[in-house]
Amino acid sequence: MTTPTKAILTFDNGAAPIELPVQAGTYGPDVIDIRALNQHGYLTYDPGFMSTASCTSGISFIDGEAGVLYYRGYPIEQLVQHADFLEVAWLLLFGELPLPAEKADFSQQVRRNAMLHDQINNVFRGFRRDAHPMAVMVGVTGAMSAFYHDSSDVFDAASRVQTAVHLIGKVPTIAAMSYKYNMGEPFVYPQYQLGYAENFLHMMFSTPCESYEVNPVLARALDRIFILHADHEQNASTSTVRLAGSSGANPYACIAAGMASLWGPLHGGANEAVLKMLAEIGDVSRIPEFIERAKDKQNPFRLMGFGHRIYKNMDPRAAFMRQTCHEVLEELDLVDDPLFRIALELERIALQDEYFIARKLYPNVDFYSGIVFRALGIPPSMFTAIFALARTVGWVAQWNEMLADSSHRIGRPRQHYNGATRRDYVPEHLRGA
Ligand code: CMC
């Protein structure tokens, strides 16, 4: 069917119909442009934005039925196999793959921006040692706005790029310092000569007491994980960054807001839940029991790491996460790890089960990522922090795209009011009378 040019909204009370333009995107559903609707005295109602395109964007695209994810038109499969994370960061920010000189320059700039202002150490010291690393990340990233406020002119394109480089460079350092602080270990400074993922592993796991060699297979695996998590259309945290940034707010504060949103268990926390579930299953012999629990409508239990709101076919990120999982466990000689064995058997049984087939419930990216992180020695409390580190690239790209658009306006959703009708103030002594 061809794209219609307009939709006509009719009413059952004899009011004149309203014509609304229809626009086609490159891919995805056509969009009914309802901007003129409020001039006719109507609003649309769509809690959770299930049927609302909140913006026009050219950064990433998901086709959940086909199991497709593109960054700037490039399939995620190709990027994860052939590109590295900073190349993908450039692509997301600027829309094209970098030329070799551009890539080298960008990579150099990001690396040289990895160190934090020394006074930020004092911000860390204000937190309890047992604070969750995400709480610390949200706080410290927000506090960066106090260090870089004057230099970030959000309406200047060059300044926005500089801010993007700062954030991409510094967020891994904040994440690693949050971990070290929680562990009670000294902070480890970044090494400019190391690659992006290598440097993160170095800041996480080296100590002043012994030398630490970054394993290149593990660094590559982590780099892939960063690529797989870099952007994902207008999810809750990305929409949060856009909405916060739409007022011209300080970008570090906006990214902190995105982190806060990501931290929620409905967004970034599922891989931690997968590990807990695998530990609870405990032995392959108990898998059928858990599968039955997941299928029982009287039981709220769900198989963690299965299903996705958008992907109704295999999540393309999950296939690579699965491969990465195998590579990491082989490298670390952990293929006989009991949790991994349970995960593989659970996956095999569920994929053959009519309940999961009928509902198109496939393993998602979180099913494997927790196992990889655990094998890398990363504790569950850091899983979302790593997601935030990778997603910072998508957040800054989306924030930059929004502010570069001359038609951008402050985000200001309306509401469907169902509160009290107008009434007069009652003095305190007459209340309850
Ligand atoms: N285990 C068992 N049954 C399930 C599961 C599951 N994991 N997921 C969905 N179902 C069933 C559900 O009970 C329903 O059955 P019925 O039609 O008989 O009532 C049907 O499948 C459709 O479920 P839904 O709740 O309408 O699907 P949704 O799109 O609203 O939810 C989801 C998507 C991801 C929240 C859900 O699949 C889920 O809770 N999965 C487990 C948690 C998880 O792994 N979350 C991580 C998602 S990926 C994160 C990311 O991309 O950022």
pLDDT of residue 271: 84
pLDDT of residue 337: 87
- Percent of the chain scoring above 90 in pLDDT: 85
- Placement of tokens 């929409």 in the chain: 239
The whole-angstrom separation of Cα 84 and Cα 91 is 11
pLDDT reading at 284 higher than 90: yes
Q: Quick check: is 366 catalytic? A: yes
Q: Spot the catalytic one: 229, 231, 308, 315.
A: 308
Nearest residue to 169 (alpha-carbon basis) of 207, 117, 126, 206: 117
User: How many of the other CB atoms lie within 10 Å of CB of 310?
Assistant: 14
pLDDT of residue 102: 98
The whole-angstrom separation of Cα 335 and Cα 65 is 32
pLDDT of residue 407: 87
Average pLDDT, the chain: 94
* Domains located in the chain, CATH noted: 6-53 (2.20.28.60), 75-264+381-404 (1.10.580.10), 270-375 (1.10.230.10)
- Whether residue 321 contacts residue 311, with contact meaning beta carbons closer than 8 Å, is answered with no
Which tokens sit at 423? Answer: 């009434």
Please list every protein residue whose CB sits less than 6 Å from any atom of ligand 1.
270, 294, 302-309, 359, 361, 364-366
Q: Quick check: is 308 catalytic? A: yes
Whose CA is closest to atom 4 on ligand 1? 302
- Whether residue 29 contacts residue 4, with contact meaning beta carbons closer than 8 Å, is answered with no
pLDDT reading at 151 higher than 70: no
pLDDT reading at 94 higher than 80: yes
Kindly report, residue by residue over 386-423, the tens digit of the pLDDT: 999 999 999 999 999 999 999 899 999 999 999 999 99
The whole-angstrom separation of Cα 70 and Cα 73 is 5
Q: What mean pLDDT is predicted for residues 31-53?
A: 94
pLDDT of residue 201: 97
Kindly report, residue by residue over 367-380, the tens digit of the pLDDT: 999 889 999 999 98
- Whether residue 294 contacts residue 301, with contact meaning beta carbons closer than 8 Å, is answered with yes
**Ligand 1 binding pocket mutation candidate from 306, 362, 369, 387 (most atoms within 8 A of CB):** 306
